[in-house]
Amino acid sequence: MPIIVNLDVMMAKRKMSLNELSEKVDLTLSNLSILKTGKAKAIRFSTLDAICKALDCQPGDILEYSESNYE
């Protein structure tokens, strides 16, 4: 898939653990882990909004498009 999820990068920049983010955005560790590893097929805008608020970032800081990753 040509969409790259940089959630781990933003979490590292903000020094935030998966547990802490999970509590702040009210998502299970399992769902956040799926998103973080790029295995998610979709993300709700409300989830993206909550993550951006928790990490004080823009959606473009988390999601990236790269044609070279398209198979």
Per-residue pLDDT band at 1 (split at 50, 70, 90):
low
State the pLDDT at residue 67: 80
Is the separation of the CB atoms in 41 and 31 below 8 Å? no
State pTM to two decimals. 0.87
pLDDT, tens digit, 9 for 90 and up, residues 4-51: 999 999 999 999 999 999 999 999 999 999 999 989 999 999 999 999
The structural domains of the chain, with segments of one domain joined by +, span 3-69
DSSP 50: H
- For tokens 């999970």, what's the residue? 22
Looking at residue 32, what is its pLDDT? 94
* Vertex 30: Cα angle to 29 and 33 (nearest 5): 80
Third-level CATH fold of 3-69: 434 Repressor (Amino-terminal Domain) (1.10.260)
Phi and psi angles of residue 14, each rounded to the nearest 5 degrees, phi first: -95, 0
